[in-house]
Amino acid sequence: MVAIMCWVSVGASARSAQSDDTKETVKTRDLFFETNIRPILVEKCIRCHGTDKSESGLRLDSSESFSRGGDSGPVFETTAPDSSLLLQAVRYEGLEMPPNQKLPAEQIELLEQWVLSGAKWPNYSTPLKESRAGGSISDEDRSYWFFQPIRGDRSIDSDRSRHDETAERTNSVHPIDALVMEKLQRAGLEMAEPASESTLLRRAYLDLLGVPPSWNEVQRYLDDVSPDRYEKLIERLLADSRYGERWGRYWLDLVRYAESDGFKQDAFRPTAYRYRDYVIDSLNRGKPYSQFVIEQLAGDEVDPNSDEMNAATGYLRHWIYEYNQRDVRSQWNNILNDLTDVTGEVFLGLGFSCARCHDHKFDPILQKDYFKLQAFFAPLEPRYDIPSESEKARQWQEAKVDWDACATPILDEMKRLEAEVRSAVTASTIEKFPPDVRPALLKSTETREPAERPVALLAYLQIQNDLQGIDFTKKLNGDALARWKQLKGAIDELNKATSGAPPIALTVRDMGNIAPETHIPGSHSSEAIEPGIPTVLGLEKSIPIAPLPHSTGRRLALAKWIVSHDNPMAWRVITNRIWQLHFGKGLVSNASDFGRLSEVPTNPELLDFLTKYLIDHNGDWKSLHALIMTSSTYRQSSYPTVISQGHAIDPDNKWFWRYPPHRMDAEQIRDSILAVTETLDPRAGGASDTNDSNRRSIYQRVMRNSSHPMLSVFDAPDGSSSVAKRNGTTTSLQALYMTNSTWPLKKAESLVRRVSTEYDSDIARVVSLFQRVLLRDPTQSELESLLRFLENHPSSIAQTADSDRISEIESLDPLVDITHALINSNEFLYVE
């Protein structure tokens, strides 16, 4: 019985997840090596232990030579890694390497982490080299497929003869199917038969809306005899406001959206949700992708007075922030690095972070290219003084005129009384910052150099925090204290008559139309790095930058270049993301890194065809959704009649010979339970819910250090880093949460109360539960087994062993157990 044996079939899923996890683990391990270990070995070790020189018989330029060790023996001890000679040397415990100067503590910690985890090298074992010769880009680099113009410049109708010829061979008229079948036929494979209508209907709902259809929606669809009912369904779903809630979540994963600062304090960001609402609204309106990108990177340069543009530039404020980090210069550099890294991954599909400290060792990204990208963000200044809702702000400003007339004299007198204390606290706090920062803090805003402004801003956030913490009742005395208390009382009375200041937007501005210079850290060259495109795309190409009255115009120029039809990277990246989110895997496996550490496209012709289609349709995601979902490739069954050949030839399904079944993600599971138990609160938008509510998961508060318990156990990201593809684990914690948590039980009980009211017989109630949860009638054997279960169920608290768990719900109705089992079944939790 499928429904009751809810986790019996988890073994196969777990094995599949284990295989995927192994691949992801290897990728993560290799990225750690390339990002952290390779630079240390290249910069500090191989000059004396490489191809040209191997002191003490030791070479550290490849996995094989590392394993051999040198005259003193192996440098890595498998059985006792912490005692490895490599660690002894870098710790200066006997041997002292490098001999001229001990490595920084953070580099020693990275080497320790690598060694203690097994000192694994990437399996491609590319020999280490010091750097690209003179920062050069070769013809081979330029010929890499990702940098080439988009091929397949035909539209669906522009090369009908080719598609007709392919269709005649493949019995398919859909262009996606033609290109997929070409690959399948060469591999000796065929497409699976179509999925059943009810399976396809559920798949489409979960794909586009994130929740399954209701039983009534299933019946209406199946009763529709029109030949284009499926096409009309897709059109209807794309017009549904829940579409933006579903697909907006994918985008929020990419941009590491969260509503808190992160780090230890993890302070709440009360207006961060406005960026979330901007994304949902933009997708629901079918906003062209080019406009979507421009608004997020440079909305303030498009229209600084637009409330929507201020919300859009929330993209530039998702960085993690340490509220008491005194080294504000390093903190600002880290913020710029984060923006550079995320922008490179999200929009350009390249791991720019590997080029922050040196030329990329695999991809043709020079260190100079990294800072050319960062230079676009160099003039950036976070703003804390722009109201987030313009209409409310205008109303507040109008009401504030009378308030100011009364309050200003009072506040001026309070400032005079507080001045000496405030000055002392300010001076004391300034002394806590590094000496190289203090001079900028002593200057007025107008006299600070451009490079000093963001650093001073971060510092004064901390100073302001200290000032707000002053207890003037303990700092003042005598007549001054008495007068201050009198004034404070007056201000408090005035404040009671006002609605309070409007919330402040999480937005940015350029600090003016003159940008601070960008330099490569540690470089001996004094040359300032100008903003520009990666060198591999052509030295002769440049981005025209037009300064604006109060802005450099740099970010607007960057955004326009990113979405230019001449830029092959950005459009391939977003097209691949959309395909991945429909099929669980992209045509390029690593959706945020199309470089040489990733795999080449499994079907480059299809990727370029879809990319060109998206460009030709003005970057309209919904048009691409419709094209993909109306293909036979998408409409295939997950379980073909003949499956053994596909598993033997293409076990990873990279040619898409069937629709890949997969477990629902965290939000789908939670929202689907709310939907089928008819407890979903349909309210959309606005501030996120503090406590777990019945609204959709996208409206639950996202705190980096205290994740939602259900969403986190099912692999939802915490907003700390960009996530292109979530982990797909199958763990015992998930089973325990679904079976032992009171939340699913309470939702099951809500549905049972409704069904028990609507129907008088157990048979009718069981049938209704199956229809609402699994969207089908129970089989005869399932029905008979459940009726016996109802008849024999111990329905009193005294007979229940686990009374503590059950006491948290209102009844011991056996129908609750049945409903609970249904929402725990693989049939419910998986998309097929």
Q: Please report the pLDDT score of residue 585 as a whole number.
A: 93
Answer whether residue 260 shows pLDDT above 50: yes
Determine how many CB atoms are found less than 10 A away from the CB of residue 162. 12
Q: Please report the pLDDT score of residue 628 as a whole number.
A: 98
Q: Please report the pLDDT score of residue 123 as a whole number.
A: 67
Residues 144/145/150/153 CA torsion (nearest 10 deg): 130
Answer whether residue 144 shows pLDDT above 60: yes
Which residues, 6+ apart, have CB-to-CB distance to 475 below 8 Å? 421
Instruction: Find the distance separating the first CA and the last CA of the chain, reported in whole Å.
Output: 19
Among the residue ranges 105-119, 210-224, 328-342, 363-377, the one predicted with the least confidence is 105-119
Q: Please report the pLDDT score of residue 83 as a whole number.
A: 83
Q: What is the mean pLDDT of residues 240-253?
A: 98
Answer whether residue 153 shows pLDDT above 90: no
At residue 274, the 3 state secondary structure works out as helix
Task: Give the type of residue at 84.
Answer: S
pLDDT bin (cut points 50, 70, 90) of residue 170 is: very low
- Give the H or E element holding residue 383: strand 380-383
Q: What is the mean pLDDT of residues 632-644?
A: 93
At residue 208, the 3 state secondary structure works out as helix
Answer whether residue 214 shows pLDDT above 80: yes
- The Cα 388–Cα 686 span in angstroms is 12
* CB-neighbour burial class of residue 596 (10 A; exposed 0-12, middle 13-18, buried 19+): middle
Q: Please report the pLDDT score of residue 80 as a whole number.
A: 83
Q: What is the mean pLDDT of residues 600-615?
A: 96
User: Whose structure tokens read 């060259």?
Assistant: 525
Among the residue ranges 61-75, 332-346, 742-756, 804-818, the one predicted with the least confidence is 804-818
> Taking a C-beta distance cutoff of 8 angstroms, is the pair 266, 705 a contact?
yes
Instruction: Copy the structure tokens of residue 118.
Output: 């097994």
CA angle 368, 515, 307 (to 5 degrees): 110
- For 373, which DSSP code? H
In percent, the amount of the chain with pLDDT more than 70 equals 90
- Give the H or E element holding residue 413: helix 390-430
What is the DSSP annotation of 154-203?
--TTTTHHHHHHHHHHHT--SHHHHHHHHHHHHHT--PPPBPPHHHHHHH
Q: Which residues of 18-35 are buried (b: 16+ CB within 10 A; e: fewer)?
A: eebbeeeeebebbbbbbe
Instruction: Copy the structure tokens of residue 730.
Output: 């199958």
Q: Please report the pLDDT score of residue 812 as a whole number.
A: 64
Q: Please report the pLDDT score of residue 127 as a whole number.
A: 55
User: Whose structure tokens read 């005259």?
Assistant: 71
pLDDT bin (cut points 50, 70, 90) of residue 398 is: confident
Q: Please report the pLDDT score of residue 526 as a whole number.
A: 78
- The Cα 512–Cα 519 span in angstroms is 19
Answer whether residue 455 shows pLDDT above 90: yes
User: Whose structure tokens read 């009072």?
Assistant: 410
CA 567 to each of CA 374, 601, 612, 613, 753: distance values in angstroms, whole numbers, following the listed order: 19, 18, 12, 15, 57
What is the DSSP annotation of 693-715?
-SB-GGGB---TTS--HHHHHTT
736-759 pLDDT per residue, tens: 999 999 999 999 999 999 999 999
pLDDT bin (cut points 50, 70, 90) of residue 539 is: low
Among the residue ranges 13-17, 421-425, 444-448, 568-572, the one predicted with the least confidence is 13-17
The 3-class secondary structure across 743-788, one letter per residue, is HHHHHHHHHHHHHHHHCCCHHHHHHHHHHHHCCCCCCHHHHHHHHH
Answer whether residue 784 shows pLDDT above 60: yes
Q: What is the mean pLDDT of residues 609-619?
A: 97
> Taking a C-beta distance cutoff of 8 angstroms, is the pair 32, 114 a contact?
yes
> Taking a C-beta distance cutoff of 8 angstroms, is the pair 576, 591 a contact?
yes
711-730 pLDDT per residue, tens: 999 999 999 999 999 988 88
CA 92 to the chain's CA centroid: 41
Q: Taking all residues of the chain, what is their mean pLDDT, rounded to a whole number?
A: 87
Answer whether residue 484 shows pLDDT above 70: yes
Q: Please report the pLDDT score of residue 321 as a whole number.
A: 93
Cα Rg for the chain, rounded, in angstroms? Answer: 30
Answer whether residue 298 shows pLDDT above 50: yes
Answer whether residue 49 shows pLDDT above 50: yes
> Taking a C-beta distance cutoff of 8 angstroms, is the pair 653, 193 a contact?
no
pLDDT bin (cut points 50, 70, 90) of residue 132 is: low
* CB-neighbour burial class of residue 739 (10 A; exposed 0-12, middle 13-18, buried 19+): middle
Answer whether residue 200 shows pLDDT above 80: yes
pLDDT bin (cut points 50, 70, 90) of residue 139 is: confident
pLDDT higher at 38 or 745: 745
The 3-class secondary structure across 264-307, one letter per residue, is CCCCECCCCHHHHHHHHHHHHCCCCHHHHHHHHHHHHHHCCCCH
Q: Please report the pLDDT score of residue 72 as a whole number.
A: 78
> Taking a C-beta distance cutoff of 8 angstroms, is the pair 590, 27 a contact?
yes
Q: What is the mean pLDDT of residues 517-532?
A: 87
Which residues, 6+ apart, have CB-to-CB distance to 213 below 8 Å? 201, 202, 205, 221, 775
- Asked if the bond preceding 450 is cis, omega within 30° of 0, the reply is no
Q: Please report the pLDDT score of residue 682 as a whole number.
A: 95
pLDDT bin (cut points 50, 70, 90) of residue 117 is: confident
- The Cα 100–Cα 595 span in angstroms is 36
Q: Please report the pLDDT score of residue 176 as a whole number.
A: 97
Q: What is the mean pLDDT of residues 249-275?
A: 95
- The Cα 317–Cα 506 span in angstroms is 6
CA 500 to each of CA 307, 464, 503: distance values in angstroms, whole numbers, following the listed order: 19, 19, 9
- The Cα 71–Cα 58 span in angstroms is 7
Q: What is the mean pLDDT of residues 115-121?
A: 87
Q: Please report the pLDDT score of residue 798 as a whole number.
A: 40
- The Cα 199–Cα 211 span in angstroms is 14
pLDDT bin (cut points 50, 70, 90) of residue 166 is: very low
Q: Please report the pLDDT score of residue 25 as a whole number.
A: 64
Residues 588/592/596/600 CA torsion (nearest 10 deg): 10
- The Cα 394–Cα 391 span in angstroms is 5
User: Whose structure tokens read 């480059």?
Assistant: 604
Q: Please report the pLDDT score of residue 391 as a whole number.
A: 76
Q: Please report the pLDDT score of residue 26 as a whole number.
A: 62
In percent, the amount of the chain with pLDDT more than 90 equals 66
User: Whose structure tokens read 């050319």?
Assistant: 372
Q: Please report the pLDDT score of residue 458 as a whole number.
A: 95
Q: Please report the pLDDT score of residue 152 as a whole number.
A: 66
Answer whether residue 797 shows pLDDT above 50: no
Q: What is the mean pLDDT of residues 253-281?
A: 95
How many residues are present in the chain? 832
Instruction: Copy the structure tokens of residue 150.
Output: 């988009």
Q: Please report the pLDDT score of residue 23 as a whole number.
A: 53
pLDDT bin (cut points 50, 70, 90) of residue 540 is: low
pLDDT higher at 391 or 226: 226
pLDDT higher at 810 or 62: 62
Nearest-CA neighbor of 601 among 626, 568, 632?
568
Instruction: Copy the structure tokens of residue 435.
Output: 């000496």
